[in-house]
Amino acid sequence: MYNLSCVFSVICSVILPIGMAVLFCVRNKNSWKPILFGALTFVVFQVFIRIPILEYAMSETEWFIIMSSTQPFLYALFLGSTAGLVEEGGRFLVMSQLMKKQRSTLDAIAFGVGHGGIEAILFVGIKAVGLLLSPIEQAAPSEVFAAGAERLSAIAMQITFSVMVMKSVRERKYIWLLLPFIIHTCVNLGAALAISGVNIWIIEVSFLLAAALMVWFVVKEYRKEKPDPRQTEA
């Protein structure tokens, strides 16, 4: 069971995102650029900017240390809101300034594949590969499996957030920038629920259901933009 959980987690957090990126590039040779921009946006704004600041605050700022140990809900709200602010702000900045010729829904989906894919690899994939190769069990099988399942919903959400932010850039309607920030923050509050003792699978199933709704939104946006072949033939 442990090895199967590790394999599942590796598939969800390494093989799937890489496979999606390769498939996009094979089917549309111009997709490599938004995929790369998506990955770099996460690395720069999350890994190089937000996380180091949080690590500094965790070790040097008294109020932050107290909040993290005594107020799990406020702590999760703070982490979730800063993640949403940094990631959605970074997404908007890159899309509006560096992707002026690639603003279709398909480009936004590719961006989300890069963004969510590199997040999955860095936060879960590397560890999952290590667990799979380790001769001893280092985590409960259910936890390893849950980590992989979480990446499925997280990648779907990152793709949806990218489509929403691109819609904001393209249509200049900032509700589509505010909405992913709010959803992003709410999703991260799931960590507080887990700490409070809520069953992890209730949270994961809720995330998967939310992700399914988001996939429906992405498909709807893509179909709206995709030309009708009957009209093309006419």
- How many domains are contained in the chain? 1
Over residues 130-165, the pLDDT tens digits come to 998 887 777 888 888 988 999 999 999 999 999 999
Q: Print the domain residue range for 138.
A: 2-222
Residue 232 maps to a domain: no
Residue 234 maps to a domain: no
Q: Each residue of 6-23: b (16+ CB within 10 Å) or e? A: bbbbbbbbbebbeebbee
- Whether the pLDDT of residue 232 is over 70: the answer is no
Over residues 56-109, the pLDDT tens digits come to 888 888 888 888 788 877 888 888 899 999 999 999 999 999 999 999 999 999
The answer to whether 156 and 215 have CB atoms below 8 angstroms apart is yes
Residue 195 maps to a domain: yes
What is the reported pTM?
A: 0.92
